[in-house]
Amino acid sequence: MRIIADLHIHSRFSRACSSELTIINLEKWARIKGLGLLGTGDFSHPEWVVELKEKLREDGTGILRTESGFAFVLQNEISLIYTQGGKGRRIHLVILAPSFAVVDKITDYLKSKGRVDYDGRPIFNISCIEFAKAMKNISEEIEIIPAHAWTPWFGIFGSKTGFDSIEEAFGDQSRYIHAFETGLSSDPEMNWRLTKLDKYRIVSFSDSHSFWPWRIGREATVFDFKELTYQSLINALRTGEGLVETFEVDPGYGKYHYDGHRLCKISFSPEESKAHKGICPVCKRPLTIGVLNRVDELADRTESEVRRGAKPAYAKPFKKIIPLHDLLALALESGVATKKVWAKYYEILNLGENEFDILLNISEEKLLQAAGKEIADLIMKNRRGELTIKPGYDGEYGVPVIDGREIIMDSSDDGEPGKSADKKEVCEVKKTQTGLEDYF
């Protein structure tokens, strides 16, 4: 049973997320995308968990099902903000749980450390070590996965608040960490440059803040099980058995691949940053050091060594693809959420079973007949990993480029098509409500 899974998403109760995130919409768009298993997101939030218990049924396998049979697994992202080794740390972790009974115990523990009602991704002043100990005391079946591992501000290896290794972050609890998430700005090949990561499984998920197909499943992990159960899923994460491959966006597409300053419109490769001694030439402040630079700093294999085969013995293959909406926006010179792009999306979707089928399997001949040469060429280049990407930096997404043209991204790309959402304002409102001004 081959299943494409996205196990890192959010509900409408997380900040800066679509207000229309519901189980119904998640299932609908997961099927359109080609996903067969989703994380629930945000199971510790008191309103969302009520909805989960109403909409999803347990059947003893640890996998939850909707009325129509679509599969979910209980999942939450947790933000830990604390001090260790004389440095402020901000680490995001994805946790998976086997049942609502275990979720209730996790939530009770989190409530003993702070609030869970203000955000689907709650924040706690506890260390990775303490958190891991607490989770394992609740249940050995809880899985902890460091999220978007290289993101400067919230990744376990992030340049701003991270660590140099999983062992440094988790101490003696690192024996309970089996996998980590690449994040948009890195891919497995980059991670293979660190021999210290050879023993960990590499997974990719979207961290989606909406259900739209240019967000959900933009990164995913493919599994192959005899039967989909929580135990088979956890076994794949812990041993690699049943973990087939990952789908990654080109790491340049991520928000933090290059170094830079967004407000100063400065984007530097690691070499350019070194030439400027890590200082922004505009504002004269330290640059936000991105993922590629941070990988270079910690790596003990060169890029050429990895490409010649120096990588973990059980390393899994991966495909680099970006969402179909992004390709159509580029070809049609329009925003990803415009009517023009939506019309073409549905037209092309009729060629196959779902979006992944279009992106990975439908023949070039069929694409040419239905979509025209430019769109067909973009899909094929995307399939072969041949698109040119202008790298993202300091919170700005990277963009595919063709003939000097870049994708026009709507301000509503995480919300509803045709509507503009001021995410900064949303965050400011929530900060005021929760008293967490110092964390953001």
> pLDDT for 200-247, tens place per residue?
999 999 999 999 999 999 999 999 999 999 999 999 999 999 999 999
- Rounded distance between C-alpha atoms, residue 166 and residue 163, angstroms: 7
What tens digit of pLDDT does each residue of 9-30 get?
Answer: 999 999 999 999 999 999 999 9
| Tens of pLDDT, residues 242-295 | 999 999 999 999 999 999 999 999 999 999 999 999 999 999 999 999 999 999
| pLDDT band with cut points at 50, 70 and 90 for residue 188 | very high
What six digits make up the tokens of 51?
């909805």
Question: Is 43's pLDDT higher than 50?
Answer: yes
Half-sphere exposure of 429 (CA within 13 A, CB side): 8
Which sequence spans correspond to the domains of the chain? Answer: 2-253, 323-386
Burial 219-242 (b: 16+ CB within 10 A, else e): bbbbbebeebbbebbbbbbeebeb
- Cα dihedral: 155, 159, 163, 164 (round 10): 120
Copy the structure tokens of residue 257: 């691949």
Q: What is the mean pLDDT of residues 343-358?
A: 96
- At 393, the pLDDT band (50, 70, 90 cuts) reads very high
Determine the average pLDDT of the residues in 73-93. 97
Q: Could you read off the pLDDT of 119-166 as tens digits, one per residue?
A: 999 999 999 999 999 999 999 999 999 999 999 999 999 999 999 999
Using 50, 70 and 90 to split pLDDT, how confident is the model at 408?
A: low
% residues pLDDT > 90 (the chain): 90
pLDDT score of 436 more than 50: no
The one-letter amino acid code at 31 reads R
Query: Which residue's structure tokens are 């003993």?
Result: 112
Joined tokens for residue 331: 């070809």
CA distance 253 to 14: 23
Q: What is the model's pLDDT at position 404? A: 79
Sequence letter at residue 260: G
Gap between the Cα atoms of 42 and 58, Å rounded: 17
Mean pLDDT of all residues belonging to the chain: 92
CATH topology of domain 2-253: TIM Barrel (3.20.20)
Worst-scoring range by mean pLDDT, 20-24, 100-104, 257-261, 434-438?
434-438
Lowest mean pLDDT: which of 101-105, 260-264, 426-430? Answer: 426-430
In this predicted structure, the answer to whether residue 412 has a pLDDT above a threshold of 70 is no
Q: Between the CA of residue 105 and those of 56, 110, 114, 139, what are the distances in Å?
A: 19, 9, 14, 9
Size of the chain, expressed as the number of residues it contains: 440
pLDDT of residue 409: 57
- Residues with Cβ < 8 Å from 213, sequence gap 6 or more? 29, 32, 33, 323, 324, 325, 345, 355
- Buried-exposed string 391-420: b where 16+ CB fall within 10 A, e elsewhere: bbbbebbbbbebeeeebebbebbbbeeeee
Mean pLDDT, range 183-205, rounded to an integer: 97
Whether pLDDT at 426 is above 80: no
User: How large is the average pLDDT for residues 180-202?
Assistant: 97
